[in-house]
Every structure is written in structure tokens, then in C-alpha cells.
Amino acid sequence: MTTATLPTPRAATRSPWPVRWTCAEFNRLGDMGAFEGKRAMLINGVILEEGPMNPPHAITLMLVEEAIRTAFGAGWCLRQQLPLMLGQDTDPEPDLAVVPGRPRDYTAHPTTADLVIEVADSSLDFDTNEKRLLYAKAGIREYWVADVNGRRLHVYRDPRAGDYTAQQTFGPAEAVSPLAAPSATVRVADLLA
């Protein structure tokens, strides 16, 4: 008489593992209302949620949008907290992404931007480290972080080998010109609440 051994179910042979999401799955969850009233993003297949936006963050975001719209002018689309697909599993939904053209030029979410800006209050460490490396790896040629609490602007340029080779910090009395709009001058004080 021969005894048969039943196969062991896969789940019983492994410890728990994380579920990695794709941008398509993340967007489908959003369409179903899973993130209603939440500030969610997808970073390397992991869904992250930020806390509620406080007034200084909101005011700074509006000031940044106004200053950047003036600096870039016509021919540029400013995407505020909208998808920016940086691969199959990364959609950081930056505070502001500047892309060429007009809104109707995009039948899908953009995969790059000429300038990405994040407003940081409680997220400064995440924005100046993980997100900085994420944007550099994606080849975003210029990345700014408006530091609400420190009242300064961190500017990252020239992405190479997964990081930015040029990193500068500007105070409220200083100004910077975006690479994609070199004739424009953006005063740091105009960006900060």
C-alpha cells in the first residue's frame, strides 16, 4: 500500500509577505473611493498616507503655485497634487509638478516633469531624503522642497546615478531661477507663508 502526501498550501510554508501595488491598482482603488478624504501616494509599490494638511502647508502650497505660474507663464501646465507616474509602481502625487503644454495635451498622466515641488512641514525628512532619491532616479531634472518650518527652499538639480549632484539651500532673502524658465526669478520669501 502506498501513501500519498498532500501538497502543503503555499501560505503555510511562508511567513507573511507584503502586497506590492501597481499604479493601475492604486488608481483603481482611488476610483472606488478607498482614499476619499485621505492624502495617499504610491511609492515603490507601497501605499503611504500623509496626515491632514495643516493651514501653513496649504497657504505655502497656494503661494508656491502662484509664484511658479507667474515664473513659467503660458505653455506650461501646473499639476497640483495630481498623479505623476514614475514607473509601474510609483505615483508620488507631488504638491506641484510643472510639465510642458496645456491640460488637454495629456490623455494619460505624465511620467516626468521639468520641475517638481514638495511643501514640507512634518514631512521634511521624507521629502529631502526618500522623495529626493525617488525623483533623481526618475530623472526629474529639478526638485524643490519648500521647508515651511525652516523658512527656506532646498533646490536639487542634475540627477545622476540615483541622486542629485547639485544641492543648494536658499533663505527668504534669496531668489532662484528655475532651469526650465531661466529668465524668471522666484523670490523664496514669495513661496513661504
- Whether residue 180 is contained in a domain is answered as yes
Q: Has residue 131 been placed in a domain?
A: yes
Most confident residue range from 7-16, 27-36, 149-158: 149-158
What tens digit of pLDDT does each residue of 32-63 get?
998 888 888 888 888 888 888 899 999 999 99
Question: pTM value?
Answer: 0.86
For the chain, the domain total comes to 1
| Model confidence pLDDT, tens digit, residues 48-101 | 888 888 999 999 999 999 999 999 999 999 999 999 999 888 889 999 999 999
Q: What is the 3-state secondary structure (H, E, C) of the chain?
A: CCCCCCCCCHHHHCCCCCCCCCHHHHHHHHHCCCCCCCEEEEECCEEEEECCCCHHHHHHHHHHHHHHHHHHCCCEEEEECCCCCCCCCCECCCCEEEEECCHHHCCCCCCCCCEEEEEECCCHHHHHCHHHHHHHHCCCCEEEEEECCCCEEEEEEEEECCEEEEEEEECCCCEECCCCCCCCCEEHHHHCC
Q: What is the pLDDT of residue 1?
A: 47
Q: Residue 140 sits in a domain of what CATH number?
A: 3.90.1570.10
